[in-house]
Amino acid sequence: MTQIARSTPRRLDAFTLASEPGNERLALARVAGTVQGLGLSQARLERLKTAVAEATMNAIEHGNGNRPEIPVEVEVTQNGEEIVVAISDQGGENNAGSGPGEGTRDGRGDGQGDDAGGHEEPDLARKLDGEQSPRGWGLFLIRNMVDAMHVTTDGQRHTIWLAMRTGGAAHDERM
Amino acid sequence: MTSACEAATRVLPGAAVIELSGEVDGSAATVLTAAYEQAVSADHDLGTVVLDFAAVDYINSTGIALIVSVLARARAERRKVVASGLSPHYREIFDITRLSDFIELFPDLDRAVSQLTPPAA
């Protein structure tokens, strides 16, 4: 997977959200407004919006345990042709060293969030046969929506980084 | 949790249509389940359930899980599920998740209904 470059990024926006279910919609809308006009096609903007919503929902529910007093932090930066959205919670070391699809929040859900279904790769046929929970799509969607993602943990601070190129990505258009 | 999802169900010859609107997320579970129950209770031999997403503006991963649950139940009851009115983005998500391998997709409800119900006498 592509590494996310972070040299001399330009901060476009930074904000916090209360950890309340549904607030992922606020993050989605605000990030979409921030990156509008930066060259993302409509299809890629929609993908970024879905990734931001899923990552924020994960941070609210599994990182901060739906505790409104603990904010989810969102930062949007641009580095050349790359837009990076960083979404941080205080979920800490439960996710230490986790990367896409491994050791993630999938296994620590409380039944509320979608990633409560175990950290197996979602397999629809197995879900339909009752061999996997119907849930567990969150990280799968994120990985498939953005050009790159990675996860860092610093003490209690857990951050998921989502990167999307603004230009030269026409080959990646799937629609 | 208050749902921002609404569902209107109507039963046609051979198929039932569930027209969804708003947001298909975790809070839609009760609405979607009730709509499915209403659809199949009207005709126990119902062969097809159409989920129309034309008025849906948001589907998240928990909403995908709900759709998987409805599909699993329908398959267990030997019913077919089809979908109509998905935006290009959510059509892509149905492809990525492989839902489109199990749910036939129609561009709009009219085309779904015209192919699934017998022509009027």
ipTM of the complex: 0.90
Which residue in the set B65, B66, B72 is minimally distant from A128, CB to CB? B72
Q: What is the pLDDT of residue A65?
A: 96
**Inter-chain contact B26–A53, Cβ cutoff 8 Å?**
no
Q: Is the pTM higher than 0.90?
A: no
What chain B holds in terms of domains, given with CATH numbers, is 5-111 (3.30.750.24)
Whether chain A has a CB inside 8 Å of the CB on B45: the answer is no
Which residue in the set A112, A124, A133 is minimally distant from B98, CB to CB? A124
Q: What is the pLDDT of residue B120?
A: 65
Separation between Cα atoms, residue B61 and residue B70, nearest integer Å: 14
Which residues of chain B carry a pLDDT beneath 50? none
**Inter-chain contact B61–A112, Cβ cutoff 8 Å?**
no
Higher pLDDT, A96 or A65: A65
Q: How many residues does chain B have?
A: 121
pLDDT class of A136 with cuts at 50, 70, 90: very high
Q: φ, ψ for residue B92 (rounded to 5)?
A: -60, -40
Cβ contacts of B87 on chain A, cutoff 8 Å: 46
- Does the pLDDT at position A5 exceed 60? no
Q: What is the pLDDT of residue B44?
A: 76
- Does the pLDDT at position A7 exceed 90? no
**Inter-chain contact B72–A127, Cβ cutoff 8 Å?**
yes
Question: Measured between CA atoms, how close is B59 to chain A, in angstroms?
Answer: 9
Mutate to test the interface with B, among A42, A47, A49, A50 (most CBs of B within 10 A): A50
- Does the pLDDT at position A48 exceed 60? yes
Average pLDDT over residues A36-56: 96
Q: What is the pLDDT of residue A3?
A: 60
Cβ contacts of B61 on chain A, cutoff 8 Å: 54, 57, 114-115, 135, 137-138, 140-141
* The CATH classification of domain A10-167, taken from the options 2.160.10.10, 3.40.190.10, 3.10.150.10, 3.30.565.10: 3.30.565.10
Q: What is the pLDDT of residue B87?
A: 97
Helix ranges, chain B (H): 29-41, 61-76, 88-96, 99-102, 109-116
Q: What is the pLDDT of residue A97?
A: 37
Structural domain spans, chain A:
10-167
Residue whose entry in the numeric block shows the structure tokens 């699809």: A101
Higher pLDDT, A3 or A37: A37
pLDDT single digits (tens) A103-122: 345 333 333 445 544 467 99
